[in-house]
Amino acid sequence: MQSKLPRVGTTIFTKMSKLAEEHQAINLAQGFPEFDCAPELQVLVDKYVRSGKNQYAPMAGVMALREAISQKIFTSSSHEYHPESEITITSGATEALFVAISTVVQRGDEVIVFEPAYDSYVPAIELNGGIPVFVTLDPQYETIDWNVVASKISPQTRAILVNTPHNPTGNVWKASDLQHLAALAEENGLFVISDEVYEHIVFDGRQHISASSIPGLAERTFACGSFGKTFHTTGWKLGYCLAPAKLTAEFRKIHQYVVFSVVTPIQFAVAEHLAEPEHYLKLSEFYERKRNLFFDAINDIGFITRPSEGSFFQNVSYANLSPENDRTLSERLTIETGVASIPVSAFYDNITDFKTLRFCFAKNDDTLLRAAEALHKVV
């Protein structure tokens, strides 16, 4: 049989989690919290399961959840997304991204993708007959050269895919980046697919700026979010897509045939939990402390790095410490040192070694300290 994704194997996250399990290594590879969600949220799920909210949800999502999201966005950015026509609840951000890409990409269309890039973007573009056009950034990059981005745009460019806070670099876009994006998208009539799953995890006083909050940009943007990161519930695969009504109508035509609708009782529970902003507004502070703990604990190893600006990932370059390839080193560290990481070259299309590893610090403090201690044996 001819493969539709000939260049794709098992994801690096699956591979490294399996290796970590086999060798009983501390898993700082795949990004998921080691801790559980709030007990109040568990009680709410239980309440809705027991009260019979167990059949198909409406195709676009439970209205209470769409209303809660609309309210939350209006409070933070004064932008109004109508629950009826502009918000769709999805099976994680992964489905939101896949459907948004499927909605806009026609055969032969080009899509601008910044790499390092989250692994689901390129297969989704290619399955739709699109062509990813890469803007390649160093994993330690500090600023984006928007002239380079502009130089990648052709008459075939249909969309640009962005991700802030960024996985895997941890970079958070500044207001000027979003202004550049808005200008470029408007000038060239591009759709914007904005992956904002780490929206509530930003450090050192930074603010996450959603593409949905920028006039001129919101009209052409599919903003994708996930409750997995915000409520420590990656296993629930609950996400959403915000887009203007005309775009949402097309998005839903595809969403209805990918999953139709997603898990009902959890949507009710999350709607109620979301109504209390303290459930997510303290997340940055929570993770900033963990970032500091982990960063300080590995600081004297001699990696080239700077503290992550957002997300729950810390990248380190070991180029000055070892000539080893990042895929080989991350495997060796898992097996010999007992700490699993993700080789950052896995986030690139055509680069096989960047001498950079990504560590997930969404872990208990003692796990992070044990991992840091073990990492001192890297070189």
- Contacts with ligand PMP by CB under 6 A lie at 31, 92-94, 118, 163, 167, 195, 197, 226, 228, 234, 237, 239
Asked whether the beta carbons of 202 and 186 are under 8 A apart, the reply is no
Structure tokens at 298: 């590995």
Q: Which does 30 bind (CB under 5 to 8 A by kind): ligand PMP, ligand GLN, none?
A: ligand GLN
Phi/psi at 327 (5° precision):
-70, -40
Q: Which is nearer to ligand PMP, 53 or 358 (CB)?
A: 358
Site for ligand GLN in 31-50 (CB under 6 A): 31
Distances (CA, A) of 268 to 69, 177, 195: 12, 36, 24
If one asks whether residue 165 binds ligand GLN (CB under 6 A), the answer comes out as no
Q: Which does 111 bind (CB under 5 to 8 A by kind): ligand PMP, ligand GLN, none?
A: none
Tell me the residue number closest to ligand PMP, measured at CB. 92
If one asks whether residue 13 binds ligand GLN (CB under 6 A), the answer comes out as yes
Q: Which does 233 bind (CB under 5 to 8 A by kind): ligand PMP, ligand GLN, none?
A: none
Q: Which of 90, 91, 167, 267 binds ligand GLN (CB under 6 A)?
A: 167
Q: Which is nearer to ligand GLN, 157 or 234 (CB)?
A: 234
Query: Rounded distance, CA 199 to CA 217, Å?
Result: 17
Asked whether the beta carbons of 85 and 245 are under 8 A apart, the reply is yes
Q: Which of 20, 25, 26, 30 binds ligand GLN (CB under 6 A)?
A: 30
If one asks whether residue 141 binds ligand GLN (CB under 6 A), the answer comes out as no
Residue 313 contacts by C-beta under 8 Å, 6 or more apart in sequence?
A: 31, 167, 168, 169, 170, 358, 359, 360, 361
Q: Which does 226 bind (CB under 5 to 8 A by kind): ligand GLN, ligand PMP, none?
A: ligand PMP
Task: List own/partner pairs for 3-12 with CB under 8 A and 24 or more apart.
Answer: 4/127, 5/123, 5/126, 5/127, 8/123, 11/119, 12/119, 12/342, 12/343, 12/346
CB of 167 to ligand PMP, least distance (A): 4
The secondary element (H helix, E strand) that includes residue 280 is helix 278-281
If one asks whether residue 286 binds ligand GLN (CB under 6 A), the answer comes out as no
Binding site for ligand GLN (CB under 6 A): 11, 13, 30-31, 167
